[in-house]
């Protein structure tokens, strides 16, 4: 017995596309400009929103700080590791 899998792709809402683009842009900004914060705040969470960095002890607080200042943006949040060690992403 073979069941068929039907996948339906619907167009994304324009607001979702805009928020995703802002999220991606904030992540790219952190990749390009985040080194000073990584060195200064190990073990913390950094949220980036419109080129501004918000640092907190947990991800939700970092996101809240960023969203409070820039409510129309979609902040990108990342943990800053305590140690710079190699990571294995796939086996």
pLDDT tens by residue, 24-63: 999 999 999 988 888 999 999 999 999 999 999 999 999 9
**pTM for the whole thing?**
0.77
What are the residues facing 78 on neighbouring strands? 46
How far is residue 49's CA from residue 8's CA, in Å, rounded to a whole number?
A: 33
Are β-strands 45-49 and 76-79 bridged in parallel, bridged antiparallel, or unpaired?
Answer: antiparallel
Q: Where are the chain's structural domains? A: 14-79
Residue 55 CB burial class (10 angstroms; 0-12, 13-18, ≥19): middle
Name the residue among 7, 47, 5, 4 with its Cα closest to residue 29.
47
């Amino acid at each position: 017995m073979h069941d068929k899998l039907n996948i339906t792709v619907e167009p994304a809402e324009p607001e979702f596309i805009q928020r995703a683009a802002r999220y991606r842009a904030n992540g790219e900004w952190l990749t390009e400009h985040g080194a000073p914060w990584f060195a200064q705040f190990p073990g913390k969470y950094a949220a980036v929103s419109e080129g501004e960095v918000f640092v907190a002890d947990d991800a939700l607080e970092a996101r809240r700080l960023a969203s409070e200042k820039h409510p129309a943006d979609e902040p990108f949040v990342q943990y800053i590791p305590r140690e710079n060690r190699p990571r294995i992403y796939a086996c």
